[in-house]
Each structure stands twice: as C-alpha cells, then as structure tokens.
Amino acid sequence: MNIGKQKLTCEEANQHDLVDYLASLGYQPEKIRGYNYWYLSMLPDRFEKNASFKVNRNKNQWYDFGNGAGGSLIDFGIRYHNCSVADLLELHSGSVTIGQIVSRAPYSMGKEPEQKLVILEEKPIQSDRLILYLRNRRIPLDVAREYLQEIKYQVKEKPYYALGFKNDVGGYELRNEYFKSSSSPKTVRFIDRGVDQITVFEGFFDFLSFLSIHKNQDTPLSNFLVLNSLAFFEKARPVMERHRQINLYLDRDRSGIQTTRYALQYSNKYQDHSDLYKGYKDLNGWICRIGSAPVQRLSSGAVKKSQHL
C-alpha cells in the first residue's frame, strides 16, 4: 500500500485493496478461484497446511474459516498488528512505525497490564496438554524443557497455566494453545555462550525451532538473543553489535521485513537468514508445515472456550 503522511479515515483505509495489502506484508495466495483469493492464515498462532483464509476481492472482505473471524481491512489490521484502530490508521498513514505501536502495548517496556497477571508457580513441564501443544508446534520436549517452564498464573483471581519463557529481568512470555501474553517486566533474553557471533529471533518459538532443527546435528556455535518484541530491537543493538556477525531470523511480516532491511543497510555485520522460511510468517510456521506428521489439536471438550488453560 502506498499511503502518504496524511492520516486516513477508516472509510479511506477500507478502500485499499486487501490483496495488495497482504502482498505488502509478504503474503501471496495459495490459490485463486474467481474473485476469491485463498491464503494460509497469517493471523497469530494459526498453523495450517490447507488455505482457509479467504479474501473476496470483489467485496474487499476477508474471512478466516479457522476461527470464524472476518471483515474489512481495518478488522484484519487490528488483529494482525494487535493494535487499536487509531494506531492502525497512524501506521498506514506512515506517521508511526510498527515498533512505536508495539511500544504502546500494555506489556511493553515494563508497564502493568490493565488486568494484572500474577505468576503463582513455576515448575518443569508436566501438563499433557502443554506437551501436546509443543508437539503440534514441532518442538521436542527435551529441547523445550531446557528453556521453558510450566507456569501457573492468575488473572482476576482465577488460576491458569501456560508455557513460560523467562526473560533477562524475570518476566515471562506465556503461551498455550488459547493464550498469548507476557508477565511484567518485559524485555529480551540473551544467552551468552562466549563467542563472537549472535543469532537473533523475534520470538522464543523460533529460537526453539532453530535448536530443534539442529538437534541431531552440531548446533552452530553462537550466542542467542530472543527479542520477545521488535520494540526492543533498537534497545538491543549494543548487545548485537559487539559481535562480529549478527544472524537475523526475524518474521517475514511487514514489520519484520522492514526491521531486517533497516539492519542490513545500517551495518554489514547483519546477515538475513529468513529466506530459509520464505513463504511462511516465521521459522516455527515453516517447521510446523513441513514433513508428514499430522498436526494434532486439543479436544474441544477438554477445555472451556477460553483464551486460558
């Protein structure tokens, strides 16, 4: 989308072609049937082998059959970028970057969420449902247990549990099949192996995917950095740039591609490795969709329809 600096209205933004907009984010249709363009879903935590995200180009509307959501470009943008309508309009107008929008989110930069999330307990991964979730995301349990814990947390005085990836100041990235969030304070995770190159990931599932790929091989000798949000890229540059080589495995969405391009222009220390998973949103999405093992899903009757476990 070629949008100028003047702030758009919702009506103006919704007039932009959805197919062109998805192309600007790096997504191409799997198939085209008349006015209908079919994609692998690019919405967060959707992993599939068959295209179930449809854009009707004639109506300029989308529908995701996997979660029953749909609507206009604005409806898609606020889900995809996890932001408000006002932020999305600023983003499309070019007056802010995606990093600035992410930094406004409740969990960014150590701010407390509106509904406070409290960590109650951490222990080794034992839950059958969390183990199945890892299996569906193609992460071996022994790899996961080295870096993740099973976290019991509380929201509105109700207890839940999720996988937890601890950052450098004691906060957690929390994930289960229905829930994606963080506990404060939020920041990066740096794993120092005392070498002069570093490998950088946007999220911890991509980091674990990288380790899983090299599980039966010699893992490249490298330090690792998990950003946990692109909003921390600038803050983390001094850590990255003290290394001789910086290997980037950032997401292939609009913000990830823009950040990678920025880094490559800034210094020849940065190396882009995202061609490995070209056509997919990220490294974990790539390993989830290759191979012959079927992806399993939790029984819908085992859990209430909730974002928490």
Q: For residues 206 and 65, what is the distance between their CA atoms, to the nearest angstrom? A: 26
- Among 66, 39, 212, CA closest to 137: 212
Reading the block at residue 2, the tokens are 């070629």
Give tens-digit pLDDT for 162-210: 999 999 999 999 998 877 888 888 899 999 999 999 999 999 999 999 9
Asked whether the bond before 185 is cis by omega within 30 degrees of 0, the reply is yes
Q: Is the pLDDT of residue 282 over 80?
A: yes
* Helix 85-93, helix 73-81: angle, nearest 10: 100
Q: What percent of the chain has pLDDT over 70?
A: 80
- Cα–Cα distance between 244 and 195 in angstroms, integer? 9
The pTM of this model reads: 0.60
Burial category of 94 from C-beta neighbours within 10 Å (exposed 0-12, middle 13-18, buried 19 and up)? middle
Average pLDDT of the residues in 94-111? 44
Q: Are 137 and 163 in contact (CB under 8 A)?
A: no
pLDDT of residue 94: 57
Task: Specify whether the backbone of 157 is left (phi greater than 0), alpha (psi in -120 to 50) or beta.
Answer: left
Boundaries of every domain in the chain = 10-96, 109-182, 189-289
> For residue range 154-163, what is the model confidence (pLDDT) as tens digits?
887 778 889 9
Tokens of 161: 């549990």
Pick the more confident residue, 4 or 153.
153
Q: Does domain 189-289 have CATH number 3.10.20.30?
A: no
Tens of pLDDT, residues 61-79: 999 887 778 899 988 988 8
CATH code assigned to 10-96: 3.90.580.10
Least confident of 127-131, 197-201, 204-208, 253-257: 253-257
Compute the distance between CA of residue 53 and CA of residue 38 in angstroms, rounded to an integer. 6
Q: How many CB atoms lie within 10 A of CB 7?
A: 15
